[in-house]
Chains A and B, each alone.
Chain A
Amino acid sequence: MTQHVATPAAAPHHAPPQTFLRKYVFSVDHKVIGKQYLGLALVAVCTGMFLSWLMRLHLAYPEIAIPGLSRLSPNGAPGGVMTPEYYLSLMTMHGTIMVFFVLTTAPFAGFGNFALPLQVGAEDMAFPRINMMSFWVTFVAFVVLIAAFFIPDGPPLSGWTAYAPLSAVGKDAGPGQGGGQTLWAVSIALFCVGQLLGALNFITTTLDLRTKGMSLARLPYATWAWFITSVIGLIAFSVLLPACILLILDRVAGTSFFIPAGLVISDRLQPHSGGSPLLWQHLFWFFGHPEVYIAILPGFGIISQVLPAFARKPLLGPRVFIACLAAIGLLSYTVWGHHMFLSGMNPFSATLFSVPTLIITIPATIVTLLWIGTVYGAKLRFTTAALFCLGFASVFVSGGISGFFLAQPSIDVYLHGTYFVVAHFHFVMGVAAMFGIFAGTYYWFPKMFGRMMNETLGKVHFVLTFIGVYCIFMPMHYLGLHGDVRRYSAFTDEYMKGDMPLHRFITVAALFTGAVQLIFFVNLIYSRFKGPKATDNPWQSTTLEWATTSPPPFDNFGGHPPVVYRGPNDYGTPSAAGDYTPQTTP
């Protein structure tokens, strides 16, 4: 296998920044950019969580006036009571913000930017300026999306999937479908550009900037996950980008890509002809399903790196793990049709999409078994990061099991439009990815800021969050089986009234779980400034980021690129360092 060498001639990759702006704002340093991405994700997750609170409050108490809401949207919430349309707008923005600006930016762009160059022994990403551009384009995309709250039309209401023709016809389709939906499409197109630039850097850096001795077989598992995620993202966002361009053209230029002929909306015949709404669904879900893995595979990588460090045992079956990641990446492009079982699809086509959907559960299950095998018989150090790893496995399995049901068209036809699906994807994609983010934060915080986080606060945070998310999402399975339709803003009719106590319980759990995150924020801020100083390698880990100072210098390794002699999996092998052998030990 080819081994690349970071030659001394390559140093310095770029000069250290001299001004505040170049150091902290328009920085080309991958570590700063990684923190910027994480900061953006933090703002986004607070926004998205706040929106979910508003929705849950309305679902539990449909008549309640929420103080201040009428100021945000006098038309959407007159007197503070939200209209059904405004509920849909909040739902759209919640989904979009969470999927794109939290679940994609934090585990992939955030941690990947911070740790990938360190883990391969590079001074920076291959193209630092493009890296900086990637973040700022993503930032602008977020600002454009949030701007939808502050225009007269308000935010769009077509869901994070923006199904056409609702998303394509403009103002006639309802409040928010004017300027708000256009801003949505522009925002997502910009987001695609940002992520494509990021993927370009991740792939090139992994392939070309590995330090001496860092063969592909010796790459840390998180780096493997980011690399495979980059490849998935490169293909997926390359498809979503033109889809958004077509959508924008339909909205502003009068084209008819997605709008059928003879469509009458709000008593107006739409001036379009012959477009195909299904075309949007195909293009969107060709991106949309791999997006699930863009959100979750970095979590796989983080868990597979963090868990052995605290189990003090090597990861079970490391090559199998990497093969599973690759298999998931490949299969992720064959299953998009399972999101479209309700679209009137030919039953034979549905079977074609159903089979790979079931097959893709095999590598995902194997990965979970590898984690269980890794901790089996281990003297696990129950740090907060390790607890979140175990929590990740738990919620991923809980959410994954319902995936078996939904993969079958005959069952999915009944469940797809219900809370069952909401429970499924929140567990398997949302909460699992969030637990991966938490595990990564508690694990890499000492390296990022040179200080330790408070473990007691961390454990309280984990326990309460773990209980909270189960209280929120487990009952949703029952609501779905009972026929509670997702996207309804209130369940007040006779048939569904009986489910209101459960809805209220979920709302209380959601408010509780959200409030619990304050513990995390307090810990984050307190530890950043007052936490005990971290040593270079507080967790006694093997990978290269722990072979440099905490936090690392501007050029990562002080001008001395490390040399790698072994893989990242040498835990339980006594050496001079202790019960592990770092990758830099001959």
Chain B
Amino acid sequence: MIPMRSLPVERVSPAPARTGVWVAVLAISMTFAAITSAMVARAGAALDWQPFRLPAVLYVNTVLLMLSSGTLESARSRLAQPEPRAIGGTAAHWLLVTLGLGLLFIAGQLLAWRALARQGWFLSTAPNSAFFYLFTALHGLHLLGGVAALVYAWRRVRMLGPAAADTLGAAALYWHFMTCLWVCVLLLLTIRL
């Protein structure tokens, strides 16, 4: 175990981290709301909307992401046990599973892009394909931010560093939001594309 004194000096107290995530949730929601309204307006602006079928792998990805939210909760519940030092490793393991599922989701999204490109749908092919790539790319980028947050939380959990549970709580809040956001995006894409 790495000695505690080598931890970064900066201390992010638990409440600000959680509040910060809520503020980020508001900002990201606003960004996706703006793109959604742009999509609705653009769809009504001309008759060049060309419907296409969403790649099936997207649904598998959705299941992976929802599972990752579940494994993340497992990690949190294990960390909340009365003897966290004894079970800290287990929580860290569940976090690694969560990270793995998150990365699988990203890989799956790339597969969906590839499947769509094979059918001849690229970013500039039609407005709806442009929105598909835009939504999935932006969500993927934000999810990568979540991966970074989980890695940070994993390091703290593994070392049982200061406020590990709270850091994990803030990271989990963001991750669950990413899951909910993806379900909304998928629903939107299914209806509008």
A207 to B13, CA, bound (A): 13
Question: When the two chains form their complex, are residues B38 and A279 in contact, meaning their CB atoms are under 8 A apart?
Answer: yes
In the assembled complex, B41 has its CB within 8 A of some CB on chain A = yes
Distance in angstroms from B94 CB to nearest chain A CB is 27
In the assembled complex, A509 has its CB within 8 A of some CB on chain B = no
Residues in B116-135 with C-beta less than 8 Å from chain A: 123-124, 127, 130, 134
Q: Given A204-B20, A257-B42, A275-B45, does the pair A196, B27 have CB atoms closer than 8 Å?
A: yes
In the assembled complex, A157 has its CB within 8 A of some CB on chain B = no
A256 to B48, CA, bound (A): 10
Residues of B within 8 A of A199 (CB): 23, 27
Chain B interface SS verdict (over half): helix
In the assembled complex, A127 has its CB within 8 A of some CB on chain B = yes
In the assembled complex, B15 has its CB within 8 A of some CB on chain A = yes
Query: Quick one: which of B11, B15, B31, B45 contacts A279, CB cutoff 8 A?
Result: B45
Question: When the two chains form their complex, are residues B134 and A200 in contact, meaning their CB atoms are under 8 A apart?
Answer: no
Residues of A within 8 A of B41 (CB): 276, 279, 282
Residues in A31-46 with C-beta less than 8 Å from chain B: none
Residues of A within 8 A of B13 (CB): 10, 208
Residues of B within 8 A of A279 (CB): 38, 41-42, 45
Q: Given A204-B19, A234-B27, does the pair A275, B9 have CB atoms closer than 8 Å?
A: no
Q: Given A126-B16, A209-B16, does the pair A249, B38 have CB atoms closer than 8 Å?
A: no
Question: When the two chains form their complex, are residues B38 and A274 in contact, meaning their CB atoms are under 8 A apart?
Answer: no
In the assembled complex, A12 has its CB within 8 A of some CB on chain B = yes
Residues of B within 8 A of A255 (CB): 123-124, 127, 130
Residues in B13-35 with C-beta less than 8 Å from chain A: 13, 15-16, 19-20, 23-24, 26-28, 30-31, 34-35
Question: When the two chains form their complex, are residues A274 and B48 in contact, meaning their CB atoms are under 8 A apart?
Answer: yes
- By size class, the interface of chain B is 20 to 34
Q: Give the number of residues in A that approach B within 8 Å (Cβ atoms).
A: 46
Question: When the two chains form their complex, are residues A208 and B19 in contact, meaning their CB atoms are under 8 A apart?
Answer: yes
Closest Cβ neighbor of A126 among chain B residues: B16
Closest Cβ neighbor of A130 among chain B residues: B20
Closest Cβ neighbor of A11 among chain B residues: B11
Query: Quick one: which of B12, B26, B27, B45 contacts A127, CB cutoff 8 A?
Result: B12
In the assembled complex, B10 has its CB within 8 A of some CB on chain A = yes
Chain A, residues 225-252, CB within 8 Å of chain B (1/0): the string is 0000000001101110111011001000
Question: When the two chains form their complex, are residues A274 and B31 in contact, meaning their CB atoms are under 8 A apart?
Answer: no
In the assembled complex, A585 has its CB within 8 A of some CB on chain B = no
In the assembled complex, B191 has its CB within 8 A of some CB on chain A = no
Question: When the two chains form their complex, are residues A245 and B30 in contact, meaning their CB atoms are under 8 A apart?
Answer: no
Question: When the two chains form their complex, are residues B48 and A273 in contact, meaning their CB atoms are under 8 A apart?
Answer: yes
Residues in A200-218 with C-beta less than 8 Å from chain B: 200, 203-205, 207-209
In the assembled complex, A381 has its CB within 8 A of some CB on chain B = no
Distance in angstroms from A224 CB to nearest chain B CB is 17
Question: When the two chains form their complex, are residues B31 and A241 in contact, meaning their CB atoms are under 8 A apart?
Answer: yes
In the assembled complex, B47 has its CB within 8 A of some CB on chain A = yes
In the assembled complex, B46 has its CB within 8 A of some CB on chain A = yes
Residues in A279-299 with C-beta less than 8 Å from chain B: 279, 282-283, 286
Closest Cβ neighbor of A206 among chain B residues: B19
A83 to B16, CA, bound (A): 53
Question: When the two chains form their complex, are residues B47 and A274 in contact, meaning their CB atoms are under 8 A apart?
Answer: yes
Question: When the two chains form their complex, are residues B34 and A238 in contact, meaning their CB atoms are under 8 A apart?
Answer: yes
Residues in A10-40 with C-beta less than 8 Å from chain B: 10, 12-15, 28
New A-B contacts (10) at CB < 8 Å, excluding given A199-B23, A273-B48: A127-B12, A209-B16, A243-B38, A255-B127, A256-B48, A257-B127, A274-B47, A275-B45, A276-B42, A283-B34
What is the interface of chain A, defined by CB distance below 8 A to chain B?
A: 4, 10, 12-15, 28, 126-129, 196, 199-200, 203-205, 207-209, 234-235, 237-239, 241-243, 245-246, 249, 253-257, 260-261, 273-276, 279, 282-283, 286
Rank and list the top 4 A-B pairs by shortest CB-CB distance, nearest first.
A274-B46, A254-B124, A238-B30, A276-B45
